[in-house]
Amino acid sequence: MNEEYNGFEQNEEQSNTFLNEEHVTFEAEAEEIPVFEQQDSQVCFQEAFTSKPQNKNKRINPLMVALSSALMLCLIIGTVVAFNNKDFSNSLKNGGVNYHSSNVTAANVANTSEGQFVPTGTELTTAEIAAKVGPSVVGIESKITSINIFQQQTSNTATGSGVIVNEDGYIVTNYHVVEGAKELKVILNSGKEYPATLVGYDERSDLAVVKIEEKDLAYATFGDSSQLMVGERAIAIGNPLGTELMGTVTQGIISAVNRTVQVEDKTLTLLQTDAAINSGNSGGALINAYGEVIGINTVKMYATGVEGIGFAIPSNEVKTVLDDIISYGYVRGRLVVGVTGTNITEKMSKYYELPIGFYVSEVREGYGAYLAGVEVGDVIIKCDGKVIETIDDINKIRDSHKVNDYMEIVVSRNGKNVTLKVRLMEEKPDR
């Protein structure tokens, strides 16, 4: 896990925004009394998928925290791209993107270098692209059930998009589209419906793979996202606002490449586009002028007066993650400490008389922190000799290590500092 930071954003009215040429910084309104907000550094995206309550008398508690700011980054449910099974392994080896993530609280957006444009075939019209890729884009419905604080069962159906990755029924989508789903259903472009199973997922990259039992399916091909150039045509295909608008095609350009977007404590390197992306598009395909998928739509920024700022996971990273998920069911090499908690800000430190650092509210059994003796109520103040102020600080130091390395942490416990050595294990789903 991308050390656990269980914070979520809701689509609430925002204030106090600072903008400059390269950054968008969100500053939350100050509160009179600091509040502990449990944070999970694995993935803290706001989910903006389309949901349909199953019972009007029942209500799902989303456990979200509203953050005051002028702009918001939201996850959107989008389309899935299909791959040819024979070409899949080879396509995954065509370049890779090193991915280091931390969760998203406030959104900072920064520029890095642009790609080099290399033609890969004959340009297609938008109509030709829609005809070529459209059949590989599917709808995904996730049935989610939970028990609320009144011990009542709640039920909801969330809808998103996915892309078929090979003719044997493997489909890629966003993790937040299928997270917590008890049942999954895939709806093809033709309208035919299939039950689906979850093959695996990667919370850090917000990607997941599901599978249906069908053969000879239409599937999409991936392009090389490292070759993209700002200003290139970009086409998005997905299911905005649910399956009623399945297969919607929108067009724009690549607005920026290698855009660093910080959402809570997660830092993502994404493609930016002005192609219209809405709730229901999460997991959707972003396509170049040659009919190749060059991104999986995942996040958009919105606020009054802000339009046309959407983001997609680059195809090269998608390939790398998919290769591991299909082969092993998870992404190898992801390090995890095994703690959940919240950042102690300067204001909280004064109010609660705790040191600035990361407050531990849960220790995950079986992982390094648990085995090293980290306890609920500890505040992590140092890692490998460096002062810690946020979970992002911990994640950066953690990611500089390898599997089974030890990371030395110092925790404040009952007014005393305790030094512990935490073995960094490889994270596996349902460990």
CA 213 to CA 149: how far, in whole Å?
Answer: 37
88 membership: H or E segment, kind and range: helix 85-92
How buried is residue 415: exposed, middle or buried, by Cβ count under 10 Å (0-12/13-18/19+)? exposed
CA 405 to CA 335: how far, in whole Å?
Answer: 10
Cβ atoms of 300 and 310 within 8 Å: the answer is yes
AA letter at 151? Q
**Residue 132: CA count within 13 A, CB half-sphere:** 21
- Active-site annotation holder among 40, 168, 202, 206: 206
CA 106 to CA 215: how far, in whole Å?
Answer: 43
| Catalytic annotation present for 161 | no
- Active-site annotation holder among 282, 315, 361, 412: 282
Cβ atoms of 336 and 367 within 8 Å: the answer is yes
Q: What separation in angstroms does the CA of 280 have from each of 62, 123, 133, 173?
A: 18, 28, 18, 11
| Catalytic annotation present for 393 | no
DSSP-derived pairing of the beta strands 153-164 and 50-53: antiparallel
At 213 the three-state DSSP class reads coil
Q: What separation in angstroms does the CA of 213 have from each of 177, 219, 221?
A: 20, 14, 20
CA 72 to CA 309: how far, in whole Å?
Answer: 11
- Active-site annotation holder among 176, 202, 323, 361: 176
The residue behind tokens 């591991």 is: 324
| Relative orientation angle of helices 85-92 and 315-328, to the nearest 10 degrees | 120
| Catalytic annotation present for 206 | yes
CA 94 to CA 367: how far, in whole Å?
Answer: 34
The neighbouring-strand residues paired with 419 are: 410
Active-site residue list = 176, 206, 282
